[in-house]
A and B are shown apart, each in its own frame.
Chain A
Amino acid sequence: MTPTKAAAARKPARKKPAAENGAKTRASRTPRRDAVADATAAADAAIEEVVAAKERMRGVAREALGISGRDTAPPLREGLALSGVGWYPLVALSTLVVVDELQGYAFFVLGPEISSTLGIGKGALAGLSTLKILAITLATLPTAAYIQQRGRRGIISIVNAFAWSALTLLTGLVSGAWGLAGVLLADGATTGTVRATHTPLLMDTHAPSVRVRVLSFYRGADAFGNIAAPLAVALLSAVFGFTWRGVFIILGVVSLLAAIVSVRLRDPGVGRWDTARVREVVGGATAGPEQVRLGFFEVCRRLLIIPTVKRILAASAVLGMFIVPLNTFFFFFLEQRWGLGPGGRGVFFAVLPVFAIGAFAVFGKRGEALFQRDPAAFVRASSVVLGVGAILLPLSVYSPVLLGLVVLFGVSFACFGLLGIGLTMTLLSIVPAPMRPHAAALAGIFTAAVGGFGGILLLGGVESTLGSTAAIGFLVVPGVISALVLRTAAHTVNSDFDRMLDELVEEEELSVLRSRGAHLPLLSCRGIDFAYGRLQVLFDVDFTVDAGEMVALLGTNGAGKSTLLKVISGIGLPSQGTVRMDGADITYLDAERRVTRGITQIPGGRAVFGPMTVADNLRVFGYSYGRRRDAIESGIDESFAAFPRLAERRDQLASTLSGGEQQMLGLSKALIVKPRLLLIDELSLGLAPKIVGELLEMVRRINEGGTAIVLVEQSVNIALSAVEHAYFMEKGEMRFDGRAAELLGRDDLLRSVFLEGATKAVLT
C-alpha cells in the first residue's frame, strides 16, 4: 500500500477530531483569553465553511474548466466564438511560429556555406548552435519570471517577433564568428521567449473546451513551418541563386511581415478561463484576501512537487533525447545507409511533417473529447502514443526499402507531435494559470537541456562503437521506459487537477468570507500531507492558531510535531494541503519570506551559534531578519532585562553556556524579531524543572505581548500547564484538537506518551 493510500485508509478513523471531542471550545482565565477564544471559534467556523465549500464545488469547478465527464466537444468555431476572440490570436501566433522555423532551419541547412564564407570551422559552428540551444533553454526561465502575473504576453510576443525579424536580417550581415555568436545568442533568447509565452497565452485566450484543438492547430503550424522552411531555402538558394546572406535577408523581411500581422495580439489576463470561471461558480467576490505572490524559484519549487508534473518532465526529457540529437544521427544514417545527399535529406525531412499535420487534424476533436471526458484517459493515450513512436522510430532504420523508412519514421514523427500536444495540454491544465509560463519553461528545459544534451552524450557513445543505425535502434529503451513513466501520471493527473481546482475554490471562498467581514485565523493548515522522499509522515493534518493564542502541540516521539512546524515555517513543503496566514496562501512561500510576514521558529535543542558571543548571537538574530539597528539594540536590552543571566554572560561564547541559558538565548530571538507567530520546538528538552519554569514564564510574557505561540512539547504536564488549547498528534495524524483540560482526561491518547516517558525513565 502506498503512503497516500495508507493515509486514505486511515482517515475515517481519525477524521474530524472536533466531533470526536465535541465542539471546539476554549476555556478562559482572563478577558483577553475570552476574546481570543471567541475569535478563534469564529475563525475555525470560517475555515470549516471553506473546506465544506471546496468539497461541494469541486465537481462544478471541474465542469467549468471543461472536464465535463462527457465524451463530446463543441465544434471549434463555436468554441472560438465562446472564447470571444475569433481566429485572430491563433492565426497570429501560428504565423509567428512558422517564421521562427524558417530562420532556425535556414541556419541549420546553410551551415556549410556560412562556414566556408566566414572561415568558421564546423566545430565552432556546432558550438555556436549549442550556444543557441542554451540561450533558448535559459531564456525561458527569466521570461517566465518577467511575465509572472504581469499579463503582458501579447506585447512581449509582438516585441519578440520584431526582435527576431531584426536578428534574422542581421544574420545575413554578420562578418565573423563573434558577430554570428551574438546574433545566435539573441535569436536563441527570442525563441526561448516564445516557448514561455505562446502556449500559456493560447491557453488563457481560449476556453477550455477548445484548447486541445487550438494546441493542435498551433503545432500544425509549427509542422507546416518544417515543410515550408526547406522549400523556402531551396527556392531562394537553388532557384533564385541567393547566398546564405541573401536568404537570411529575405527571411528577415518575411518575419517582419509576420510580426506586423501580430501587432493586434493582446493578453487576455492570466487565468481568464480558469480563475475567472471558478470565481463565477463560487460566487464572484470582488475583494479577496491579500494575495501572496510567489517568487520565481518558489513557483518552480512548487511545480516540481506536483506528481504529474514530475512525470511529464521525465517524459519531456526522453522526448528531447529523441528529437534533439536525432537530426544529427539521422543525417549520418540517411547518408550512409541510403546515400541521400543534402537535397534528398531536405526532401525527407520536409515530407515528415505531412504525417504530423494529418495526425493533428484527426486527433484534434477526438483528443478534446477524451480530455473533457477524463484527463487520466487522455494521459494514458499520450503514453500509448509515446510508446508507439518510441518503437516505430528505431524500427524504421531496419526497413529494407526507403518507402518503409519514410512511412515508419513519419508515423513516429506524428506520434511525437501528438505527444507534444498531450504533454502541453496536461501540464498546463493542472498548474495554476500564473504558473503556466514556468511550467512551459521547465518542460522546454527538460526537453532541450536534460534530454537533448543527455541524448547527445548517450547516443554519441553508442554511435562511436556500434554505428548510427544501432544508435537510433537503441532509442527504443529510453522511449519505452518513459512511456511507462508517463502512464503512471494517469493515476495522479485527476487528483492534481482537483488540487488545482481546490486551491482556486478555496481562494475564492476566502474572498467571499473576507468580503462578508468574516474573521480568518492567523494560521490555518488544512489537509497537510508531508513526506520525506517516499516516506509519508503527515497525513491530512488540520491545525489552526489565531492571533494572540497560545496552543500546545503534543505527541509521542516521531509523531510529526517538528515536521508540522517545518511545514509552517517553510523549511519543508507539503505534498498536499494549504498553509494560510490571515487567509493568504503561504504554502509555497520561502522560509525567509515567512519570517518577514511574522513567523519565527525556535528549533529544538540549542538554537544558538556556538562560536559567537551572546551579544553577537542576539545581533545576528536581528540582522538576519532585517531589523533596524536601533530596534535590534532595544531588543537586546529587552532580552538582557528579561534574562539577567544572559547580561552577565554577554561576552561569553554561546557554546560555553548551560543548556538552560542557551534556551534563554534562543528564546530571546522572539524579543528581538517580535514575530506574530512563534513556533517553539521542545523548550524543556534536557532542562531542570526550575529552568523550565523560568522559560515558560517568559513564553507567557511574550504571548501576553500579543504574539501567538505554538509550543511543541513531549512533556504533557509542562505544556498543558501553560496553554488553554492543545493538539495531540500520533503517527502523523492529528488525534486531538480541543481544550487542554479535556486532553488530560484522554488516557487512550496520553498513555502512549506516559508509557514512552516511563520506558525512558527505566532505561536511564
Chain B
Amino acid sequence: MAFKIDETITITAPKARDTVRLPVTIRWDDGNSAANLRVDPRDPNAEYYGVFVDRAPLGPNRRIESLIGKGDSCRRTPGCPDAAFLARIKVFFTAKPELTLEFLTDLRPSRRGGTKDPHEATIVRMRGDRRVGEAAFLVNYFVDRT
C-alpha cells in the first residue's frame, strides 16, 4: 500500500485539461527506466505499460484475464485476450512511453454541452500478465469536436 504519491511517471502530453484534436498522442516520462521494457504478457519478467482509456485500470496485482467479462466470447477463443480484444475494451499495452489514439468515442453528456469532449487515460505498470503496485497516473483532457 502506498501512502505517498508516486511521482516516477509524469504525463507530458496532453497536459491536464488540454484541448486536443484527433489523433491524440499520450506521452510520459518515466523517471525509473524505460530502456528494457517489452510487451510480453506470457513472460513473467517482461515489464511494460498499460494504458486504460476512459475506463478504470486493472486492480493492483490483478491478471489481464480479469478484464474479460463473464459472458464474453473471448473466454472461449484461443489466444484471447489479444490486442484486438483489448483495443475494443480500450486497453492498450506498450513498451514505449507514448501511445497514439486514432479514434475516441464521443463522451459529451449532450451535444448542447459544448464542443469539448471529455476523456481520460490512466497509465499503470505491468509485469507479465499482471498490474504491478498501486501507482496509477491519470490525465484528463478534452477532444475538440468542432
Partner-B contacts on A (CB < 8 A):
112-113, 115-122, 124, 172-173, 175-176, 237, 241-243, 245-246, 249, 332, 335-336, 339, 341, 463-468, 470
Structural contact, A246 and B136, CB atoms closer than 8 A: no
Pairwise interchain contact B138-A116, C-beta atoms closer than 8 A: yes
- Cβ B5 vs Cβ A463 within 8 A: no
B59 interface residue (CB < 8 Å to A): yes
Residues of B with C-beta under 8 A to A172: 3
User: Which of A117, A121, A237, A467 contacts B110 (CB under 8 A)?
Assistant: A467
Query: CA A176 – CA B114 in complex, angstroms?
Result: 36
Apart from A116-B124, A119-B62, A335-B118, what are 18 other A-B pairs with CB-CB below 8 Å? A112-B120, A113-B138, A116-B138, A117-B136, A119-B56, A119-B57, A119-B59, A124-B56, A241-B4, A241-B5, A243-B2, A245-B1, A245-B3, A339-B17, A463-B110, A465-B110, A466-B110, A467-B112
The distance from the CB of A659 to the nearest CB of chain B, in whole angstroms, is 65
In the bound complex, do residue A341 and residue B110 qualify as a contact, i.e. CB atoms below 8 Å apart?
no
Ordered by A's residue number, 20 sampled pairs between the chains whose C-beta atoms are within 8 Å are A116-B57, A117-B60, A119-B56, A119-B58, A119-B59, A119-B62, A122-B56, A175-B1, A175-B60, A237-B5, A241-B4, A242-B3, A242-B5, A243-B134, A246-B3, A339-B17, A341-B17, A463-B109, A467-B112, A467-B113
CB-CB nearest in chain A for B58: A119
B22 in the interface (beta carbon within 8 A): no
B-to-A contact residues, CB < 8 Å? 1-7, 16-17, 55-60, 62, 109-110, 112-114, 116, 118, 120, 122, 124, 131, 134, 136, 138, 140
Task: Report the separation of the CA atoms of residues A465 and B111 in the bound assembly, to the nearest whole angstrom.
Answer: 9
Q: Which A residues are in CB contact (< 8 Å) with B118?
A: 335
Complex formed: what's the CA distance from A248 to B58 in Å? 22
Q: What is the CA–CA distance of A325 and B105 in the complex, to the nearest angstrom?
A: 26
Residues of B close to A124: CB separation below 8 A: 56
- A121 touches which of B2, B56, B116 (Cβ 8 Å): B56
Q: Which B residues are CB-close (under 8 A) to A465?
A: 110
Is the CB–CB distance between B16 and A249 below 8 Å? no
Asked if A118 and B60 make an inter-chain contact with CB atoms under 8 angstroms apart, the answer reads yes
A545 to nearest B CB, angstroms? 66
Name A335's closest neighbour in chain B (CB-CB).
B118
A466 vs B113: C-alpha distance in the bound complex, in angstroms? 8
Nearest residue, chain B, Cβ from A237: B5
Q: Please measure, in the bound complex, the distance between the C-alpha atom of A466 and the C-alpha atom of B6, giving whole angstroms.
A: 41
- In the complex, what distance in Å separates the CA atom of A175 from the CA atom of B133? 12
List the A side residues contacting B4 at CB < 8 Å. Answer: 241-243, 246
Please, which residues of chain B bring their CB within 8 A of the CB of A470? 112
In the complex formed, the residue of B with least CB distance to A464 is B110
A425 CA to B58 CA in the complex, in Å?
A: 49
What CA separation (Å) do A124 and B57 show in the bound complex? 13
- Residue of B with least CB distance to A173: B1
Inter-chain CA distance A172–B16, complex, in Å, is 26
The answer on a CB contact under 8 Å between B112 and A118 is no
Residues of A within 8 A of B136 (CB): 113, 116-117
Contact B3 A112 (CB under 8 A): no
- B138 and A112 contacting across the interface, CB-CB below 8 Å: yes
Q: Are B109 and A120 in contact (CB under 8 A)?
A: no
A458 to chain B, nearest CB (A): 16
Q: Are B16 and A341 in contact (CB under 8 A)?
A: yes
Inside 8 A of B55's CB, which chain A residues have their CB?
Answer: 121
Inter-chain contact A243/B62, CB cutoff 8 Å: no
B108 CB to closest chain A CB (Å) equals: 9
Q: How far is the CA of A465 from the CA of B134 in the complex (A)?
A: 39
B49: min CB distance to chain A, Å: 14
Bound together, the chains give a CA A115 to CA B136 distance in angstroms of 10
Report Cα–Cα, A118/B56, bound state, in Å: 9
B110 to chain A, nearest CB (A): 6
CB distance from A468 to the nearest CB of B (A): 7
Query: Closest chain A residue to B124 by CB distance?
Result: A116
Q: Closest A residue to B116 by CB, please name it.
A: A336
A113, A117, A173, A463, most chain B CB atoms within 10 A: A117
Partner of B59, one of A118, A237, A246: A118
CB distance from A344 to the nearest CB of B (A): 10
Chain B residue nearest to A123 (CB atoms) is B56
Q: Closest CB of chain A to B129's CB: distance in Å?
A: 15
B139 to chain A minimum Cβ distance, whole angstroms, is 11
The minimal Cβ–Cβ distance linking A345 to chain B, given in whole angstroms, is 11
List the 7 shortest-distance A-B pairs measured between CB atoms, nearest first.
A119-B59, A116-B136, A467-B112, A246-B3, A121-B56, A241-B5, A116-B122
Chain A residues, CB < 8 A from B116: 336
The listed residue (A113, A119, A243, A339) touching B60 by CB distance below 8 A is A119
Our pick among B5, B56, B113 for the contact of A115 (Cβ within 8 Å) is B56
Distance, CA A112 to CA B56, complexed state (A): 9
Nearest residue (CB) in B for A245 is B3
Q: How far is the CA of A380 from the CA of B1 in the complex (A)?
A: 54
| Complexed CA–CA distance, A464 and B110 (Å) | 6
Closest to B59 in A: A119
Instruction: Pick the most buried of A119, A122, A467, A470: most chain B CB atoms within 10 A of its CB.
Output: A119
| Distance in Å: Cβ of A181 to nearest Cβ of chain B | 14
A340 smallest CB distance to B (angstroms): 10
The reply to whether A468 and B113 form a contact with Cβ atoms under 8 Å apart is: yes
Give B108's nearest chain A residue, CB to CB. Answer: A336
A112 and B140 alpha carbons, distance in the complex (Å):
10
Complex CA distance for A119 and B134, rounded to whole angstroms: 9
Contact of B2 among A115, A245, A341 (CB under 8 A): A245
List the A side residues contacting B131 at CB < 8 Å: 119
